[in-house]
Structure 1
Amino acid sequence: MHLVQLLLPDFSLILCGYLVCRYTALNRKVWEQVESLVYYFLFPVLLFQSIVRSPLDLGGASSMMAAGLLLGVSGIGLAYALPHLPGLARLIDAREHAGAAQVAFRFNSFIALALSERLAGPRGLLLIAVLIGVCVPLFNVGAVWPMARHGGIGFGRALLRNPLIIATALGLAANFAGLRVPAFLEPSVNRVGGASLPLGLMAAGAGMQLGHLAQQKALTVGLLAIRHLLLPLVAALLAWALRLDGAQTLVLLVFSALPTASSCYVLASRMGYNGPYVAGLVTLSTLLGMASLPFALGVLGRGG
């Protein structure tokens, strides 16, 4: 496995966005428009197409779905509990936590799809599609709720107006109804969705200010420890408890140790939170994925 090669393009795009924003005429005003394009159009198209691409077999994939949902609930619960742990309440700013909590449980879908196909072939793609289908709605709601609550925005209103959640709901509805993107439109839809990944990562780099990470050391360490250490451990326990087979265990471990979603930055920024801080977390998470994926697959996978 060449995990470094797989993660290097994402990190390179973040670095590229950082350099372009600071050393060319394409400054923050330009990248704010890019963020809007990614958030309101490109990412929703990617989510919709990712969910409708493969039929979800609710019966045959029940164990995998249960594992994904339990892993997701564990990640959300740990992220929400972080400021309430003994000794951390005075070290973690509530507003910063609301905007950044999503980093602990959301995932980079591009790396998920690429790794699952490389490691487990067509079945790996089907299994990761199941996890994306059941976990993306949960994770999007989990990401929006603390920001809506802390910002005084009605939760229902925030969900109904969030383009990522709208796209997820429409994708699930289309999948369960047996609808697919017509073959003649699929190449265009794939290109639109694919554009969201490089632009989202470059926008994260453009908004990145690593100095913000030092201001919230406890929050930074806590969220990244959940994402890259605790969730792989939970995944290994779930695979054992639910008696998942080899391919299911492999994909679940990959899913648990992925870098966080690049759209975390766009969501936090568009909802009025500290985008530069979240962009720094996305960057660090991409780097930490080079350690957490070998840990999950090499140490925990072999142990299982």
Structure 2
Amino acid sequence: MTAPPQRTAPPPSLSYELYPPRSAASADTLLRTIEELEPTRPDHVSVTYSGDEARRAGSLALLDHLIARTTLRPLAHLTCVGSTRAELEDTVAALVRRGVRGVLALRGDLPEDPGTDRGELRYAGELVELVRDVERRHSAALAAGRLAVGVAAYPTRHPESPSFRHDVEVLLAKQRSGADFAITQVYFRPQRYERLVAAARAAGVTIPIVPGIMPVTDPRRLQTLCRLAGLAPHPGLAAALEDASGPAERHRAGVAFAARLARAALDAGAPGLHLYTFNEHRAALDLLERVDLPRVPHEPVPLDDLLLPA
């Protein structure tokens, strides 16, 4: 009896995070970054969506640009804090009409003023369910397909969580609500990702968990990142950035540190990499060169090959 052919593992996925520009100068930088990252053929590019109405409008404009003028496939961030259910349903429907076929469903940051309206949905899992409800009502536009729905995962305990175990249970709840995959928040120690995956699998989480890697090449940016994420700076990375003789050495140190995290995650079985770019391409491209992430080449089919004989 002939043995069934063995299935080869898929190549690791690759994705980037971008955010809408806040000035004309930053818009030029972002357009250059998109131009430089596009040839790496990422599986998707996530676009952040938060803040005031102007920033949200900028997110939609960036999504439109990616869909209309590039080959990149956008994954739209969606946060539920401060929004009504009806507003969120309208937003998801508008994304579908724009051609978006993937959403990263997030709760979003709570307002500092406890008296501010926090919206009708309390958790990201409820947002996932809402996305699936809208999806069912727009099955014709989606050709009876599904939206890809991603969620956040936390290798280091979420600042508002009582425990790491609670974070794992929240991830499991998001999966049960309909999430397809998870992207981790930033972390600085390889063991954090490995521990998260092991604990999640033991709890029953089966969706892919993609490590989120951020090549940080500036000490002030590291401090800002850690403050926003509720993390303690890695002492080795902080020292390397502070002690560097100049921008070039800081760049090499930050990229090298991030590349070690990425390589360790892939060696541990990570399904791919998600790179937080700060809308800058150089560090992301240098990291990929160090990691040597395999990409399956794709050659477009010539038009002549599509023409049937008369």
Q: Give 1 or 2 for the bigger CA radius of gyration.
A: 2
- Whichever structure has more helix as a proportion of its residues is 1
Greater percentage in strand = 2
Structure with more contact order per residue of length (Cα contacts < 8 Å, sep ≥ 6): 1
Please classify the TM superposition score into its range, dividing by the shorter chain length.
under 0.3
